[in-house]
């Protein structure tokens, strides 16, 4: 037997007496004997049997408590005090002698104490100081059915201790205990059952409730007052329901009725009122605190709402939930057992019998529904072994155990040892285990010592270890919030706690005890909780004497406190979600800040909560704002990093990536730019080699880089010339080269620079490439692929690019902007000798298949042509056709339409650059480039105003108009061309982009300017304007007589200007031109109008004749003649054909008239001639659509009119002896060679 420190104390035992009315008294002898003969005894005592008060006295009678104490545990402080008072009263001794009691921070005992009544937490704490519990020879665990965490741990611990302490007696008792389970756990320990009082309790169920539960409970309680003579005890789930039921009963205003509340939060004074003698009837509204241990005197009836708040730990979200749940059958039996002790009782259950029968027999033990971190830490600190092997009655599930270990790992109290395949407690964990508070808070206290804010943290930690002393009673929430708002800076609940502490301490020292209590009540402060706060703070001060208590006076105390708490509450953080108006917490949790918090309306981006509990929703209490950068520092061991979107940063010459970090599922770092090396060093090295050394995307200059760049360009040129990508080393080959030669751990320019400074001294050419090593130089041929193109006295750079499908693939000719109008694209279409054979082969492939078969193998013919043909200014396709025609004597059909089908790389790219060598345009069609450049130049000219330019001229410029003007070097073109321009009403002097526009605009504007000096409608032509002529003018398409006159006047003006050599460019020339026009115009206008009017009249007469007598000419002839007239007479025809053509058109009218006269006798002949004419005219239309208008093509159109005269009315006399053959030859010549320039 192990000795103990009290072995030399021999206590005197007072005279023992037992109330005869208690059922357990009848079993005294049997129980006393069982205590003497057994180490473990299980007693199932029904409610009211007297087990809680009589068993300690039975132990004294059995000889226990003489040299060591009898430890008697109760689950609640209120019960411990009540039981101790009752036993002392029965022994007729004051409390503190034979019977003592101890609850947290409150102890009444002495050396004479033989029976010590205490909470189970007190006994558990004593194990820390005295692992063998040598102060006790008996331990009574009362109300074991509650299966709290403390009770289950004590049972497991005592199960191990008993073999070591054979002198130690253990008695486990409860009203609804599962005796078989407990007996089996202690190796078939004996069980004694004790009946309760003999008064029956009638159970009534509310099978069909008509109202809400509060109303039903109120009605039931008031009804029981009338039916039963004693008091009524109402069981509610919590404070809210207690207040609602209390208010509902008080609203009934029943006289001589006292309504009292009973809850753990009440003060000693308020609790003692329940047990005081009274004369009035009472209704006591209580939580489940009155379910066991406490026997409320005078109760004969019970109302049971059937619910209670059951604490449950969610191992996934790590939140302690407090849901209101239906109670178990055993808990319901405990509640009903509270009545019937004095007389027959009645229990009204506010739920149905069916509901009762569906409930489990007992509530799950707390160890299966709470956080096990504290238990695990206790076991590790005391070397009690693996929690899975600890002799719990009901082992916790693996998820709860894992969650407990996870929490301890989070606060760095334990560390996993792979070799040991398990966790072991750290030095920090040992320190945490020595502090008498929750492990999270203990971790925060130790961190505060390092942060220099330990005194403040002890105040906060002690406050967080109790229920919040700040009350928010139902119906008075706003008043309470106003009262509490004076504390703190409004930025954190922590500062509010500190200021509340200092204010209360100050008021306590200023006021009397009763005045201070009144102050607390007026300001919604729970006085009893404040006293408990002081007691815990005092205990923490003693426990932390060895920690550094230095305090910094700087202003960041709030931040340092928050950081300290964050070490313990790392997983109780939240990120605000504005659109949802809530916080997203760790592991997918969603919570709101409790309305009682000073920052409940602040919407801080990040917060930390010292308490998370779930009722109707998850609420965060004792909240402080935090900074996400703290999470990155303090949560470094739990951060999960992800990297996306790697890229190359030229400035730092290293690969970068976007890093995001999450902590328990919350993103604390979002897409931060970091070096790729941080994530994947080998990949960062690959990027450096590829982008810096191979691609050269790097600002730093080293000799080997310039050398390698030149080698690469030479090799790339060879590749482009040969149109092959295998001549130069591939990127992978280059990568292997640099990877072999580079030192280790080079990921960036900074790494390279440090390494190169050492290497270059002895190996300056280490990273130099050689052309013979990286490329096949046998392909080099400067004659086949020259670097310059000679064009007369000019030479242009040639560049070769191999990029199939791109716009610049092939041979590129770099041409200065100043030279673009001096070159002919035909010369460049021949390409360089190295591409010429391929070009000829592609041209030959476009020859129609039937002809191509006669040429033999095209590759051989292309090679022959390459050797025979020399480049000329003639079109390359026509040159190939001519060569084939001479070699084989066969005619080659037209292949020009297939020019675009030749592979693009066999057509030169014209790259045009300006004086600053910037590319202004690029393409394969020189004519298109010219058009684009001219359009761009025209827009530039419109956007700017040159000093020479004038608008709305009424006279020719006195200084004349120069032929061209040099423009600024920034312009798209070198020269601009001044010209008069007109918009139809006014005349201006503007710069134009080319001579063509200049000539056309100058002529039209000269006419417009001259028109300002001549009458709009000459008086002498008015007699011409007959109604017959007006009709003809209208039928020919003119909108008015004025339009017809303007056509004639403009044509005459053109004729006069042409007669003087064109528009004037000097003022003197203009004066001469204007003088001639003013002199000749009035003389000639009548003649021109007469001729024009005659043509209109003739055309109208012919059309009228065709309509009146269609049978004479037939439909085909009618259509043909009308089409001919449409081409001759139309609005503007006089200006279009010039006045000298008017006699010819008159002759054509005469010929048409003769043709109509002959149609009646020779219709078949006319039809044959129509076919001939239409065939030739169709060929002409194709030609006219292919080429822009020119004098040669226009003249050919008049020749076609003369052919019609010769065919249909030869007697009229055709000019120029036209024939079908001559016209066809001319058409073929223009199609082959193009119009003459």
Q: Which tokens go with 266?
A: 């009440």
pLDDT given for residue 1111 in this prediction: 63
Cα–Cα separations (whole angstroms), residue 453 to 377, 449, 461: 25, 6, 12
How do 573-577 and 582-585 pair as beta strands? antiparallel
Mean pLDDT of 65-88: 91
Are the CB atoms for 444 and 410 separated by under 8 Å? no
In percent, how much of the chain has pLDDT > 70?
A: 94
C-beta neighbour count of 797 within 10 angstroms = 13
Whole-angstrom Cα Rg for the chain? 57
In the predicted structure, residue 1106 carries a pLDDT above the cut 60: yes
For the stretch 113-162, pLDDT in tens is 999 999 998 998 898 889 999 999 999 999 888 888 889 999 999 999 99
For the stretch 638-679, pLDDT in tens is 999 888 889 999 888 999 999 999 999 899 998 899 999 988
The dihedral built from the CA positions of residue 633, 634, 637 and 641, taken in this order, carries a sign that is negative
Pick one of 3.40.50.150, 3.30.300.30, 3.40.50.300, 3.40.50.10470 as the CATH number of 23-194.
3.40.50.300
For the stretch 1029-1082, pLDDT in tens is 889 889 899 999 888 988 998 999 999 998 888 999 999 999 999 999 988 888
**Residue 1079, SS3 per DSSP:** helix
In the predicted structure, residue 106 carries a pLDDT above the cut 90: no
Please identify which residue in the block is written with the tokens 């007389």: 343
Q: From 219, 248, 303, select the one nearest 474 (Cα to Cα).
A: 248
Nearest-5° Cα angle at 490, 471 to 487: 50
Lowest mean pLDDT among 367-371, 983-987, 1124-1128, 1177-1181: 367-371
Mean pLDDT of 545-564: 76
pLDDT given for residue 1093 in this prediction: 92
pLDDT given for residue 783 in this prediction: 84
pTM over 0.75: no
pLDDT-based confidence at residue 552 (cuts at 50, 70, 90):
low
- Check residue 94 and report its DSSP letter: -
Beta-bridge partner residues of 72: 117, 140
pLDDT given for residue 317 in this prediction: 64
For the chain, the domains span 23-194, 201-365, 373-428, 467-543, 681-779, 788-923, 926-1011, 1027-1059+1075-1233
For the stretch 220-262, pLDDT in tens is 999 999 998 889 999 998 888 898 999 999 999 999 999 999 8
Please identify which residue in the block is written with the tokens 């169709």: 1178
pLDDT-based confidence at residue 444 (cuts at 50, 70, 90):
very high
pLDDT-based confidence at residue 956 (cuts at 50, 70, 90):
very high
pLDDT given for residue 9 in this prediction: 59
pLDDT given for residue 1023 in this prediction: 79
State the Cα torsion 464-470-474-479 to the nearest 10°. -150
Alpha-carbon distance of 440 to 411, in angstroms, equals 7
Alpha-carbon distance of 874 to 880, in angstroms, equals 10
368-382, 493-507, 546-560, 808-822 — most confident range = 493-507
Please identify which residue in the block is written with the tokens 């009934």: 252
Alpha-carbon distance of 73 to 1057, in angstroms, equals 130
For the stretch 355-387, pLDDT in tens is 999 999 888 888 888 888 888 898 888 888 888
More confident residue, 76 or 24: 24
Alpha-carbon distance of 161 to 178, in angstroms, equals 22
In the predicted structure, residue 408 carries a pLDDT above the cut 90: yes
Beta-bridge partner residues of 301: 232, 346
In the predicted structure, residue 7 carries a pLDDT above the cut 50: no
For the stretch 286-330, pLDDT in tens is 988 777 656 788 899 999 999 988 877 766 666 667 788 899 998
Q: Which tokens go with 993?
A: 């982009």
Mean pLDDT of 16-21: 91
Beta-bridge partner residues of 812: 799, 909
In the predicted structure, residue 631 carries a pLDDT above the cut 90: yes
Per DSSP, the residues of 718-779 read HHHHHT-SSSBPPHHHHHHHHHHHSPSS--BHHHHHHHHHHHTTT-TTTT---HHHHB-GGG
In the predicted structure, residue 6 carries a pLDDT above the cut 60: no
Q: Which tokens go with 572?
A: 């109780």
pLDDT given for residue 1233 in this prediction: 74
Q: Which fold has domain 201-365?
A: Rossmann fold (3.40.50)
pLDDT given for residue 123 in this prediction: 94
Mean pLDDT of 584-613: 90
pLDDT given for residue 516 in this prediction: 93
pLDDT given for residue 5 in this prediction: 41
- Those residues with Cβ within 8 angstroms of residue 61's Cβ, 6 or more apart along the chain or in another chain: 16, 28, 32
**Fold: same for 23-194 and 201-365:** yes
pLDDT given for residue 318 in this prediction: 64
Are the CB atoms for 411 and 380 separated by under 8 Å? no
| β-sheet with 345-349: strand ranges across | 201-205, 345-349, 299-304, 231-235, 281-286, 257-262
Mean pLDDT of 907-929: 86
Crossing angle (nearest 10°) for helices 557-568 and 439-451: 140
pLDDT given for residue 2 in this prediction: 39
pLDDT-based confidence at residue 1019 (cuts at 50, 70, 90):
low
pLDDT given for residue 264 in this prediction: 65
Q: What is the mean pLDDT of the chain?
A: 87
pLDDT given for residue 247 in this prediction: 92
Cα–Cα separations (whole angstroms), residue 798 to 703, 811, 1136: 27, 7, 47
pLDDT given for residue 796 in this prediction: 93
pLDDT given for residue 845 in this prediction: 85
In the predicted structure, residue 3 carries a pLDDT above the cut 50: no
Determine the longest span between alpha carbons in the chain, in angstroms. Answer: 169
pLDDT-based confidence at residue 1193 (cuts at 50, 70, 90):
confident
- Those residues with Cβ within 8 angstroms of residue 1220's Cβ, 6 or more apart along the chain or in another chain: 1172, 1176, 1203
């Amino acid at each position: 037997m192990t000795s103990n420190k009290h072995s030399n104390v021999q206590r005197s035992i007072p005279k023992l007496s037992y109330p005869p009315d208690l059922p357990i008294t009848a079993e005294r002898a049997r129980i006393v004997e069982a205590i003497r003969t057994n180490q473990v005894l299980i007693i199932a005592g029904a409610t009211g049997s007297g087990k809680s008060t009589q068993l300690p006295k039975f132990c004294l009678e059995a000889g226990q408590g003489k040299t060591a104490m009898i430890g008697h545990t109760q689950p609640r402080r209120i019960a411990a005090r009540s039981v101790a008072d009752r036993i002392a009263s029965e022994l007729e001794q004051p409390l503190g002698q034979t019977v003592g009691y101890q609850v947290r921070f409150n102890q009444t005992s002495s050396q004479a104490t033989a029976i010590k009544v205490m909470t189970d937490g007190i006994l558990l704490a004593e194990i820390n100081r005295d692992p063998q519990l040598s102060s006790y020879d008996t331990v009574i665990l009362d109300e074991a059915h509650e299966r709290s965490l403390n009770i289950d741990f004590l049972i497991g611990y005592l199960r191990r201790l008993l073999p070591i302490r054979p002198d130690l007696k253990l008695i486990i008792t409860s009203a609804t205990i599962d005796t078989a389970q407990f007996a089996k756990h202690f190796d078939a320990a004996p069980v004694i059952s004790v009946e309760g009082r003999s008064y029956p309790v009638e159970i009534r169920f509310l099978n069909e409730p008509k109202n809400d539960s509060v109303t039903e409970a109120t009605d039931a309680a008031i009804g029981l007052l009338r039916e039963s003579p004693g008091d009524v005890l109402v069981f509610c789930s919590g404070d809210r329901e207690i207040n609602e039921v209390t208010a509902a009963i008080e609203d009934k205003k029943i006289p001589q009725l006292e309504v009292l509340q009973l809850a753990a939060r009440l003060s000693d004074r308020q609790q003692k009122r329940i047990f005081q003698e009274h004369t009035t009837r009472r209704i006591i509204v209580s939580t489940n605190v009155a379910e066991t241990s406490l026997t409320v005197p005078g109760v004969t009836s019970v109302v049971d709402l059937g619910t209670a708040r059951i604490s449950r730990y969610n191992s996934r979200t790590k939140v302690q939930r407090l849901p209101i749940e239906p109670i178990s059958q055993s808990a319901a039996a405990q509640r009903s057992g509270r009545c019937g002790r004095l007389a027959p009782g009645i229990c009204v259950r506010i739920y149905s019998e069916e509901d009762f029968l569906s409930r489990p027999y007992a509530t799950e033990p707390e160890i299966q529904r709470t956080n096990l971190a504290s238990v695990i830490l206790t076991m590790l600190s005391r070397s009690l072994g693996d929690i899975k092997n600890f002799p719990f009655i009901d082992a916790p599930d693996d998820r709860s155990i894992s969650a407990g270990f996870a929490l301890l790992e989070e606060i760095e109290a334990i560390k996993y040892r792979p070799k040991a395949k398990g966790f072991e407690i750290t030095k920090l964990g040992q320190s945490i285990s020595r502090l008498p508070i929750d492990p999270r808070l203990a971790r925060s206290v130790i961190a505060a010592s390092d942060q220099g804010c330990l005194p403040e943290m002890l105040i906060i930690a002690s406050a967080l270890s109790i229920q919040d002393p700040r009350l928010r009673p139902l119906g008075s929430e706003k008043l309470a919030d106003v009262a509490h708002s004076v504390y703190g800076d409004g930025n954190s609940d922590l500062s509010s706690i500190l200021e509340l502490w200092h204010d209360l301490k100050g008021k306590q020292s200023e006021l009397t005890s009763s005045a201070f209590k009144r102050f607390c009540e007026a300001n919604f402060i729970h006085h009893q909780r404040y006293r408990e706060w002081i007691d815990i703070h005092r205990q923490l001060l003693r426990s932390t004497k060895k920690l550094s208590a230095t305090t910094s006076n700087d202003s960041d105390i709030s931040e340092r406190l928050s950081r300290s708490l964050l070490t313990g509450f790392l997983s109780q953080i939240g990120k605000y979600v504005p659109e949802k108006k809530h916080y997203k917490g760790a592991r997918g949790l969603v919570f709101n800040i409790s309305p009682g918090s000073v920052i409940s309306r602040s919407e801080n981006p990040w917060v930390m909560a010292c308490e998370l509990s779930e009722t109707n929703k998850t609420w965060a209490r004792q909240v402080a704002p935090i900074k996400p950068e703290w999470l990155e520092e303090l949560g470094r061991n739990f951060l999960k990093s992800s990297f996306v979107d790697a890229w190359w940063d030229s400035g730092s010459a290293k690969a970068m990536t976007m890093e995001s970090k999450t902590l328990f599922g919350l993103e604390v770092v979002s897409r931060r730019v970091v070096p790729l090396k941080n994530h994947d060093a080998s990949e960062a090295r690959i990027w450096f080699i590829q982008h810096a050394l191979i691609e050269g995307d790097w600002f730093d200059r080293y000799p080997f880089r310039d050398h390698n760049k030149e080698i690469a360009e030479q090799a790339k040129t060879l590749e482009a010339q040969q149109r092959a990508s295998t001549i130069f080393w591939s990127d992978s080959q280059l990568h292997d080269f640099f990877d072999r030669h580079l030192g280790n751990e080079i990921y960036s320019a900074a790494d390279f620079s440090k390494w190169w400074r050492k290497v270059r001294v002895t190996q300056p050419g280490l990273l130099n490439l050689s052309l013979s090593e990286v490329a096949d130089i046998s392909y080099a041929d400067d004659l086949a692929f020259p670097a310059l193109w000679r064009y007369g006295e000019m030479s242009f750079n040639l560049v070769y690019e191999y990029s199939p499908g791109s716009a610049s693939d092939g041979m590129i000719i770099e041409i200065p902007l100043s030279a673009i109008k001096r070159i002919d694209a035909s010369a460049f279409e021949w390409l360089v000798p190295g591409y010429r054979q391929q070009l000829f082969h592609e041209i030959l492939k476009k020859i129609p298949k039937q002809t191509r078969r006669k040429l033999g193998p095209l590759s051989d013919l292309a090679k022959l042509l390459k050797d025979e043909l020399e480049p000329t200014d003639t079109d390359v396709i026509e040159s190939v056709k001519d060569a084939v025609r001479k070699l084989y004597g066969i005619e080659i059909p037209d292949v020009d339409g297939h020019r675009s089908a030749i592979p693009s790389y066999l057509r030169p790219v014209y790259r045009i650059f300006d004086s600053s060598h910037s590319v202004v345009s690029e393409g394969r069609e020189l004519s298109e480039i010219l058009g684009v450049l001219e359009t761009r130049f025209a827009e530039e000219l419109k956007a700017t105003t040159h000093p020479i330019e004038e608008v709305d001229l009424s006279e020719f410029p006195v200084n004349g108009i120069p032929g061209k003007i040099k423009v600024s070097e920034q312009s798209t073109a070198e020269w601009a061309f001044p010209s008069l321009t007109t918009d139809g009403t006014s005349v201006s002097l503007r710069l134009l982009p080319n001579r063509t526009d200049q000539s056309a605009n100058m002529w039209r504007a000269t006419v417009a300017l001259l028109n300002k000096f001549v009458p709009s409608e000459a008086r002498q032509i008015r007699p011409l304007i007959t109604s017959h002529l007006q009709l003809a003018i209208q039928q020919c398409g003119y909108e008015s007589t004025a339009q017809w006159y303007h056509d004639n006047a403009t044509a005459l003006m053109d004729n006069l200007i042409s007669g003087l050599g064109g528009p004037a460019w000097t003022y003197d020339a203009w004066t001469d031109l204007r003088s001639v026009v003013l002199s000749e115009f009035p003389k000639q206008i009548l003649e021109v109008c007469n001729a024009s009017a005659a043509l209109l009249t003739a055309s109208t007469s012919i059309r009228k004749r065709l309509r009146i007598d269609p049978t004479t000419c037939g439909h085909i002839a009618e259509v043909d003649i009308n089409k001919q007239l449409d081409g001759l007479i139309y609005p503007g025809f006089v200006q279009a054909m010039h006045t000298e053509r008017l006699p010819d058109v008159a002759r054509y009218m005469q010929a048409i008239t003769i043709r109509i006269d002959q149609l009646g006798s020779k219709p078949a002949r006319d039809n044959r001639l129509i076919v001939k004419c239409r065939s030739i005219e169709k060929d002409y239309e194709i030609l006219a659509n292919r080429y822009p208008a020119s004098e040669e093509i226009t003249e050919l159109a008049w020749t076609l009119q003369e052919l019609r005269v010769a065919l249909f009315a030869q007697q009229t006399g055709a000019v120029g002896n036209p024939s079908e053959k001559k016209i066809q030859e001319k058409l073929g010549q223009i199609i082959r060679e193009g119009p003459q320039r």
